[in-house]
Structure formats: C-alpha cells, structure tokens
Amino acid sequence: MERLRPLILRSGFFAFSVVVFLATGGCGDPVQTNTGSASAEGMWIGTVATTRTLTAVVLDEGTYYLFYSTPGNSSILSGVIQGTGTSASGTFSSANAKDFAVQSAALEATLSGPFVARQFLNGTVAYTGGGTTAFTSSYNTAYDTTPTIGSFAGMYQGQASSSGGSQAATITVASDGSFTGTEQNGCTFAGNFTLRTRGNVVDQTLTFGGGTCFFGNTTLTGIAIRDLATNRLYAAAPNNARTDAAMFLGVKIL
C-alpha cells in the first residue's frame, strides 16, 4: 500500500528552505572528499514505487533526506522522507523516519534496506499506521566534491511547500551565502547556508518573517540538493518537533 501522497497546489500560508548540494558535479573549483567505505553515505538517484523519481542524500552522521516527486512528473515535489539511520553489515536502517508529504500531516515510519557503498541503496519504508512503499537508487559521484558558496549565487523560482500545500516562491542568493525570498502570499524570509566538512552538501539556517508565513517567525535548519543537469534546487527543513517541514523545488533562472 503506497502512502506517499501527490502534490496538491493551493494558495495560502506556505514556506520553504534553501540550501544546496550539486547533484551532477561541482562548480567553482570543487574539492575531492572521501566518503565512508562501509556506510550508505552519499547522494542517490532512483525511483519510489516505480512511478516517482527519487533524489536523496545520506550524510556522514547518518541523517538522510529522500525527496520524491509526484507520480510521473519529476519536476513537482510531493514530499521528503527524513530521519537518522545507521549502516551495518550492508543494511541501512532507521527507526525514526518521517514522511513530510505536501498537503498532509507527517507520517511516522521505519526504513530499512540493503546497500553497497558507492553503488546502490534500496529500501522499504514501513508506516506506523500501516502500508509500505519501496525505493531503489544508484550512487551519484557528484557527492564526492565540495562546492563553493559563491557558485550558488543567483535567483531561483519554483514551488514552496509544507503540510498546508504549495505556492509559487522566489529566492535570491548572494555570493556570500546569504539569501532572501518571497512567497506568493507575501511571506518573506532570510537566511544563510554554509558548506559542510564532508560531501557535496550545504547546511542552511532559515528565518521566516511572520505575518502570512505558514511557519510564523520560526527558524528552521536543513539541507538541499542542486541538480546542475536540470538547474533544479531541492530543499527541506523540518521544524524542531518534526511535525512539519518546509520544502522547495525550483529552477535557477538568473
């Protein structure tokens, strides 16, 4: 039984987070890094339940973000599965997975599946309320390089999402890693992203401006993925209680 939910576009109070890692190779003099030879650490590209595309990252300490699209449309984000996991004896497992689907309450789940370092990562997500869904993925060597902050400067346009739904949003990133943005309903936000010590990933801190913002004046942290082949930017940041998450999928336009 598939529990991943499709994206439903709505206007209203929504928000998103911005941070980047390059999904198809570095930019701005990337530096080679080392990944764990016996862990699922890395970037992974694949499919979920055969009809949804998957773009995922497992960080060196085990935190993971699995971005999944709507069925048959890789350009629309439907949600992200996030949690912390462990790699042992060729199995990646997590007892605290949360499925942050657009237009839906967060679903609790577990995640488990086989992997071979730098080759493949497959798994099954089993929901506490019943039902499972499976994914398959292969390693993307873009994780092996570290980007520069300046390489992310520019304007990105796309959809900002949360449990409340989705709406149009735009962000502008400066060469020092600071950024500002607006959403269709008038919500404004600002933040910074910084390089991590391992992997082609950037951390981010994002503060919303209150008013019409779905997340009020709160500050969220998370990560994101930038796919240079399509100029797509994937981003997600759960709230502290992990009851909701700010998500984004957009394209660099300037």
Q: Mind listing the pLDDT tens digit for each residue in 178-220?
A: 999 999 999 999 999 888 888 888 899 999 999 999 999 999 9
Structure token digits, residue 247: 């998500």
pLDDT band at residue 160 under the 50/70/90 scheme:
very high
Using CA atoms, how far residue 145 sits from 19, 117, 195, 201, in Å, is 16, 16, 11, 9
Token code pair at residue 8: 């439903």
If you average pLDDT over residues 142-163, what whole number do you get?
88
- Residue 188 has, within 13 A of its CA and on its CB side, a CA count of 5
Q: What is the mean pLDDT of residues 76-91?
A: 97
Tell me what the mean pLDDT of segment 223-237 comes to.
84
Residues 114-121 have a mean pLDDT of 98
Q: Interior CA angle at 147 toward 172 and 205, to 5°?
A: 50
Phi, psi of 142 (to 5 degrees): -60, -25
Could you tell me the two tokens for 133? Answer: 């869904």
CA distances from 42 to 81, 202, 226 (A): 16, 13, 14
- Please tell me the predicted confidence (pLDDT) of residue 11: 32
Residue 230 has pLDDT above 50, yes or no: yes
* pLDDT bracket for residue 8 (50, 70, 90): very low
CA distance 155 to 189: 14
Q: Measure the CA–CA gap between 232 and 226, rounded to whole angstroms.
A: 6
CA distance 238 to 17: 9
Q: How far apart (Å, rounded) are the C-alpha atoms in residues 239 and 242?
A: 5
pLDDT digits (tens, 9 = 90+) for 18-28: 334 444 444 44
Residue 56 and residue 54: Cα distance in Å, rounded?
6
Buried b (16+ CB within 10 A) or exposed e, 151-166: bbbeebebbbbbbbbb
How far is 118 from 38, CA to CA, in rounded Å? 9
Q: What's the mean pLDDT when you consider all of the chain?
A: 86
pLDDT winner (highest mean) among 28-32, 45-49, 172-176, 232-236 = 45-49
- Please give the average per-residue pLDDT across 166-177, as a whole number: 92
pLDDT score for 59: 97
Cβ proximity of 43 and 21 under 8 Å: yes
